[in-house]
Structure 1
Amino acid sequence: MGIRLYSKTKKTKVKRSLATFMLQHFNDKEGWMFNEDDLELLIDLVQFFRPEHPHRADKIDLTEFLTFLDHNPNFRKELAVYLKQILHQKKFNRTITDAGILQDVDFLFEVRRRLYAKVLPNQPQRDTLEFVLNQVFYLSSDIVWVKKIPFEQLQKLHQMLEFGSIYENVEPFTALSELMNAMTLITQRIGGRAMETDVLKMVPEYDGIESPFTAFEKELLMIEERIKLDVPHFLTSEDLSYRQLLVFHKQCEEFVDKAFKNSSKYGISLRVNQNLLRIRQQLVRLKVLFPLMIVDSGTDIEENAVKMSVQLIEYNCYKNNVRKFISESTQLLSYEITQHTAKTGGHYITENHREYFRMLRNSLGGGLIVGILCIVKLLLSKVDTSYFGQAFLYSMNYSIGFITIFLLGFALATKQPALTAAALARALEEGHSKEGHSSQKYGAFAILFARVFRSQFIAFVGNVAMAFPISLFLIWSIEQIFGYNIATAKWEHILTDISPVHSLAIFHAAIAGLFLFLSGIINGVVSNRDKHNQVYYRIQEHPLLKKTFGKKRTLRFASWYEKRWAGFISNFWFGVFMGSTASVGLFLGLNLDIRHISFASGNLALAIYGSEFHVTNMMLFWGIFGVGVIGFINFSVSFGLSLGLAFRSRAISIFELRFVTSAIWSHFKHKPMSFFFPTERKLKTEVEEKYLKPDEK
């Protein structure tokens, strides 16, 4: 035999043939009955077929095993008796109803539960099939190689071991009884979840009409009653009740799809998202189980038994899958978050000269505020306080400054990548949904990217060009008024912190890029939450506010809240992140800090003035170079993280970046100036009209 079992010892691996194993335990003397653990032999038998690397295996061939059983009927008979004894009246309805399906709408609780179960698996009672599967197929990758066994070989094994039909009777603990009990329980759970207020709020279209889940549950109960009473205990695919059941199931799926689709109108909370996701998982589970009630030909009886066996192994193997759970749970929420940032980001993409110079004017305003913040931070650094006090003062300085920039309509260059990345991903997604050649779609994306890049470029220029002279002017003014150069003691330290070769400026710039990304996420989260909780409408119709301030003022405040509050909060937290990082690093004993291009420009001015303009040419070079590097890292990290999230939320493959990058490079070679200045003609091309900014048309 080519199949071997490897028994590991301290020094060697001893090969055992399948024939030797079968002869030892499944001879006509019933040697398997004397084993203390009745599952041990099955575990060893499965080990013969389990490949070392399941994902690399092309096929798991049982030909030799089947040939051995065919030529040795005594062994086959003993093996069949052994397996039937193990599987006799083993309950498995919980495996169907629970394995791989959300057990709690609390996201963090579910993550913790699955992680804990991976380390220390749940062990059900010994009278359940789940216990057997846990012991035998204990690796989550086992289903990978089981599915690589040819289906006809599994059918032949089922025949040779004479397992019989699952439709023979519907007594308790038989296969068909467990299957129907599981479907009933899943249906009841679905109906209860679908009737919750937060879920119904997502689908006002269903108000006043009978829930499809109620009709679905009634139809399934009627079918199950028929199967129990009729002989044989199955249906055909032409059965009218079964066809009606599929119609109701389709209506239930449409209910869930509509609720998810309405999230763009009403927002969605994590709890509602988990509820809908659980209902969807349960509907998918039922859709897989329905065909097991159908027998149209004699071969279906055997095929259904094999399919059900493989399905139970799959459910049990994937029941603690954390990666898939997180992916499913967060995709819709990330889509809603990036959808909001995409709308906001569209305002930061310049199309023409007028918008381009407006961006320059706004970024000059942002640089003005940053210059002031640089001076204030330098003064706050002289305050003798604790790490917490320093973090608080710095955080409030940053937060007040960023909020001021936001409320005045000014632009902070590095805040834009997190927003414009989502707009780019949305443009690519909408390009895919339309007809046209793929090169045109990627070409249109490249044009939009050029606009994004030049918008970032002019914003960087405006921030840096204004922050530097404002900081220089303010520190000069302070010395003229008070006769004291406030940067004398720290200028060398400030200049060193900007240099990418004399400090961890690149790493610290990356941290700032991460915070820029997080502030964009917060913006979308707050907007989505307020939309779901109808905060704008609740403020607008608040009786006390209307009575106190009048309807018009209340409406204006509600409108301001809707447009500004998400940005207000995200800028506040961005300031807290920026201001507290260094103090947290000191507390933890880590070299943590932030570097931001606009503040680096202002700090460069402070360092030059603090040295009384005695900075060496080399130090000045590394300072100027450092400002550019910091800006590049700020942009790259923030933009990269945001684009990755936006791609994932829209199910766009990351491999498409190859085509996107190629299209951008091709566009740059043909029109390099368009990446820095608005050079397009006023008249849009057909491609641009078709794929760019469809939401504005």
Structure 2
Amino acid sequence: MLDILESISDATTGIDALVRLFHTLRPERPADTGAATERVRTLTRLLKADPRQARTLRDYMLRLLTSRRHASLYTEIGVLSNDGFFSELKRRVAYRVLPPALGDEYLSDAVDQLMFLDTDYLWIRAVPAADWLALFDTIFTPIPGMANVMLPGLLEAIRTLSYRVAAIGLEPKLTNFHTEMEVFDSPFTEQNREVQAYLDGRVDDARHLLVMLDQCDAVVAKIRKKALAQGTSIALTYLLVTLTQSIDRLRKLLFLVDTSGELPSAPTLDVRAVSEAVTPPHRSPRAPSSLRRAAGVALALELIEAHNKKYRVRELLADNVHLLARNVTENASRTGEHYVADNRAQLAGMFLSSAGAGLVIGFMALIKILMGKLRAAPLVEAFLFSMNYSLGFMLIHLLHFTVATKQPAMTASRIAAGLQSKDGKHLDTDSMAELVNKVFRTQLVAVLGNLATAIPCAWLIAWSWRRLAGAHLVTPDKAMHLLRDIDPVGGPALAYAAIAGVCLFLAGLISGYYDNQALYTRWARRVSQLRGPGRLIGQHRLDRLGLYLENNLGGLMGNLCFGILLGTIGTLGFLLGLPIDIRHVTFSSANFATAIVALDHNVSWQLVLKSVSGFLAIGAVNLLVSFSLALWVALRSRQVRFRHGYALLKTLGRRFLAAPVDFFLGARDTAPVSPDEMTTTRQK
């Protein structure tokens, strides 16, 4: 450190000396915060011991600061650009491979040269704020006539951000979605007028400007709430994130430059955590100057962390995708309401619905076996299998039947919605246990309904084929192959079942995505405006068709894509030479029945037991994988952290012990009954 400080003179202008000095503060490991703190304190002691070196370093840093432009550091770092999601994604990927050229014109480039490691923010944040401010005060000892070199850049950044907020607020994607802005004065343009008046000195403080920013936030909240009901797009989501970040940064900069002493601390500034550490002993921690110093430290740490992460694709996805995923899973959550039975009557309806699906799947299994006998080319066979699955699942949807394995992607979103609380800490475990219990027994009944008809249907088809055609539907060798395919121990059946679970999860996301798109793009109105079909089938029927597509597009597309996934995964594994295939519980049970008939029922009870346990295990893996993935995405999209698992399990255990029959069959009425009430009833 001493050698570097001695090398700095009045003629030093480049940034190399500061880079070397900063490198002496950087610990060898980002987690070694003790070493970093000690090095910062050592530099402070050296400068206090030699005021001449402190003055030289101060003059050198002032020359660097005055020679560079500051505004871009505050307006671009940690704030998404206006280029759009995919342009920003492409830029980040390109700069991760080959970073942009750095110059001597912008302060942000100097920060890039100083903190070139992605982990620098970790140790910088870990060093106490009081130590950083002590070093800052030692270097920048006030002298008469010394200007604030940071203020012009801060003011320019405020003006730039204000223009950006106004421009984004006038984007057609926002105004078309929230038409009230075209009728009343837009708060986005009004805040720009207030900023100009504040910067030009026509108003004394920024209180009214903060009110306008609050109104901007209110409009953003209304648009997001409206998007949950009417759908959203990646472009709209990106604009909302950019707008929120710009308003947030504008508030922070206003708090730093306002000298009236009356501007309240912006709620987005986390300054309380450092205000005590940076406050001199003789000054109240709530004094405006102390809070402003704390806010300066908080903003500096935020900028450094955002700078280190500015080319990370994961950060871009985290900022945007969770909002889009929230809308996708919100549509799935509303669909999930139909997959939760409240009482025994609804459970009976679910059983009949899933039994109807089992009948259709029995015939789908027959068609798949017949297609396999064609010995078509792999890609042709994959196409045929995909169409069989897709059209069959779409027929099940049109007939309002239920495939049990399609439920988890919907019910997981419904549970995630129930887990969300305002503070993220308190949860009504009794109500949550009631919902989980309903989902569990509804899912169980749906699986039983599928199996109750799929197995007899497949058996009857195979038996009828033998009686009518004079030969078995499949050969004995093929029958043994079908049984080996569902062996839970001697083969990869459970791994393939997990792959099918992933396909089920993806189908749920696809379904939610298209439901969102149908709402956002107003499919009902678009279809009803078609003149040709209107003349062909009549306007009334066309209106009904448009409304049906808007309400069912997600279900149809989800089933179509799910069928394509099931039909192509095996062929893809064959072409790539990878052990990839799928196992689905209902088709596995139908294949079991077909194989039993082909073997003339001449099978041992051990083989039957192993096969039955095999397709039941396949079903359990299908459900567990798809439900776990769907629940994880739903929780992440809602930014919910669930910490009540043990309490929820205890409540479920009490419900089972209090009324085991109702636990599996549900109550006779629709009114939810708490475990305590059930215990009291049994005691009476």
RMSD: 3.0
Deviation sequence 1:418-463 (CA, Å, 0-9, x none): 111111222232xx3599x957x11211121111111111111111
The corresponding residue for 1:12 is none
- SS at the partner of 2:206? helix
Deviation sequence 1:459-501 (CA, Å, 0-9, x none): 1111112111111111121222222213114112111110121
Asked whether the equivalents of residues 408 and 627 of structure 2 are also in contact (C-alpha less than 8 Å), the reply is: yes
TM-aligned CA distance change 1:38 to 1:434, over 3 Å:
closer
The corresponding residue for 1:26 is 5
The corresponding residue for 1:201 is 176
Question: What does 1:601-612 correspond to in 2, within 5 Å?
Answer: 601-612=589-600
Identity of aligned residues (%): 28
- SS at the partner of 1:614? coil
Deviation sequence 1:165-219 (CA, Å, 0-9, x none): 999669xxx5322222222222222222221211112212323112111111122
2:546 corresponds to which of 558, 567, 587: 558
2:235 corresponds to which of 250, 267, 271: 271
1:246 corresponds to which of 210, 213, 219: 210
1:330 aligns with 2:308: no
Unaligned runs of 5+ in 2: 262-287, 678-684
- SS at the partner of 1:226? coil
TM-aligned CA distance change 1:556 to 1:311, over 3 Å:
closer
How far does residue 618 in structure 1 lie from its aligned partner after superposition? 3.2
1:369 aligns with 2:360: yes
1:293 partner letter: V
How far does residue 339 in structure 1 lie from its aligned partner after superposition? 1.5
Alpha-carbon distance in 2 for matches of 1:617, 1:655: 45
Alpha-carbon distance in 1 for matches of 2:342, 2:95: 53
Alpha-carbon distance in 1 for matches of 2:373, 2:109: 66
Alpha-carbon distance in 2 for matches of 1:507, 1:593: 9
The corresponding residue for 1:13 is none
Question: What does 1:10-25 correspond to in 2, within 5 Å?
Answer: 21-22=1-2, 24-25=3-4
How far does residue 312 in structure 1 lie from its aligned partner after superposition? 4.3
**Taking structure 2 as the reference length, what is the TM-score of the superposition?**
0.87
TM-aligned CA distance change 1:399 to 1:180, over 3 Å:
same
Asked whether the equivalents of residues 105 and 274 of structure 1 are also in contact (C-alpha less than 8 Å), the reply is: no
The corresponding residue for 2:384 is 393
The corresponding residue for 2:57 is 79
Asked whether the equivalents of residues 374 and 603 of structure 1 are also in contact (C-alpha less than 8 Å), the reply is: yes
1:180 aligns with 2:155: yes
1:43 aligns with 2:19: yes
Deviation sequence 1:390-410 (CA, Å, 0-9, x none): 110000111111111111111
Alpha-carbon distance in 1 for matches of 2:446, 2:407: 9
How far does residue 545 in structure 1 lie from its aligned partner after superposition? 4.5
Q: Which moved more, 1:528-537 or 1:149-158?
A: 149-158
1:577 aligns with 2:555: no
TM-aligned CA distance change 1:179 to 1:652, over 3 Å:
same
How far does residue 240 in structure 1 lie from its aligned partner after superposition? 4.5
Alpha-carbon distance in 1 for matches of 2:293, 2:512: 52
1:356 partner letter: L
Alpha-carbon distance in 2 for matches of 1:161, 1:683: 70
Alpha-carbon distance in 1 for matches of 2:618, 2:291: 66
Question: What does 1:194-593 correspond to in 2, within 5 Å?
Answer: 194-226=169-201, 240-295=204-259, 296=261, 309-310=300-301, 312-429=303-420, 432-433=421-422, 438=426, 441-488=428-475, 489-593=477-581
Asked whether the equivalents of residues 166 and 176 of structure 1 are also in contact (C-alpha less than 8 Å), the reply is: no
Deviation sequence 1:79-118 (CA, Å, 0-9, x none): 3344334434211222222222222554344334324433
Unaligned runs of 5+ in 1: 1-20, 228-238, 690-697
- SS at the partner of 2:37? coil
How far does residue 304 in structure 1 lie from its aligned partner after superposition? 7.3
**Number of residue pairs matched?**
647
2:258 partner letter: I
Asked whether the equivalents of residues 101 and 319 of structure 1 are also in contact (C-alpha less than 8 Å), the reply is: no
Asked whether the equivalents of residues 444 and 687 of structure 1 are also in contact (C-alpha less than 8 Å), the reply is: no
TM-aligned CA distance change 1:501 to 1:165, over 3 Å:
farther
**Taking structure 1 as the reference length, what is the TM-score of the superposition?**
0.86
- SS at the partner of 1:26? helix
- SS at the partner of 2:180? helix
Alpha-carbon distance in 1 for matches of 2:297, 2:399: 68
Deviation sequence 1:520-562 (CA, Å, 0-9, x none): 1111111111111111123235455544433422222223223
Asked whether the equivalents of residues 205 and 258 of structure 2 are also in contact (C-alpha less than 8 Å), the reply is: no
Alpha-carbon distance in 2 for matches of 1:205, 1:363: 46
Alpha-carbon distance in 1 for matches of 2:245, 2:145: 26
The corresponding residue for 2:624 is 636
Alpha-carbon distance in 2 for matches of 1:669, 1:165: 78
1:65 aligns with 2:43: yes
How far does residue 354 in structure 1 lie from its aligned partner after superposition? 1.1
Alpha-carbon distance in 1 for matches of 2:613, 2:636: 34
2:111 corresponds to which of 106, 113, 133: 133
1:473 partner letter: L
How far does residue 684 in structure 1 lie from its aligned partner after superposition? 3.6
TM-aligned CA distance change 1:357 to 1:529, over 3 Å:
same
How far does residue 40 in structure 1 lie from its aligned partner after superposition? 4.0
The corresponding residue for 2:277 is none
Asked whether the equivalents of residues 25 and 32 of structure 1 are also in contact (C-alpha less than 8 Å), the reply is: no
How far does residue 414 in structure 1 lie from its aligned partner after superposition? 0.4
2:310 partner letter: K
Asked whether the equivalents of residues 70 and 108 of structure 2 are also in contact (C-alpha less than 8 Å), the reply is: yes
Deviation sequence 1:565-594 (CA, Å, 0-9, x none): 221111111111111110111111111111
Alpha-carbon distance in 1 for matches of 2:354, 2:645: 30
- SS at the partner of 1:472? helix
2:213 partner letter: H
Q: Which moved more, 1:411-420 or 1:533-542?
A: 533-542
Alpha-carbon distance in 1 for matches of 2:466, 2:291: 92
How far does residue 299 in structure 1 lie from its aligned partner after superposition? 6.8
TM-aligned CA distance change 1:52 to 1:607, over 3 Å:
farther
Asked whether the equivalents of residues 111 and 322 of structure 1 are also in contact (C-alpha less than 8 Å), the reply is: yes
The corresponding residue for 2:69 is 91
TM-aligned CA distance change 1:385 to 1:72, over 3 Å:
same
How far does residue 277 in structure 1 lie from its aligned partner after superposition? 1.2
Deviation sequence 1:104-160 (CA, Å, 0-9, x none): 554344334324433433233122222221121112332233233333333332232
Deviation sequence 1:665-691 (CA, Å, 0-9, x none): 4433444433421246554448999xx
Alpha-carbon distance in 2 for matches of 1:444, 1:309: 44
TM-aligned CA distance change 1:496 to 1:240, over 3 Å:
same
How far does residue 254 in structure 1 lie from its aligned partner after superposition? 1.4
1:649 corresponds to which of 634, 637, 641: 637
TM-aligned CA distance change 1:149 to 1:53, over 3 Å:
same
- SS at the partner of 2:183? coil
Asked whether the equivalents of residues 105 and 271 of structure 1 are also in contact (C-alpha less than 8 Å), the reply is: no
How far does residue 286 in structure 1 lie from its aligned partner after superposition? 0.8
TM-aligned CA distance change 1:67 to 1:511, over 3 Å:
same
- SS at the partner of 1:500? coil
Alpha-carbon distance in 1 for matches of 2:32, 2:366: 61
1:148 corresponds to which of 126, 143, 147: 126
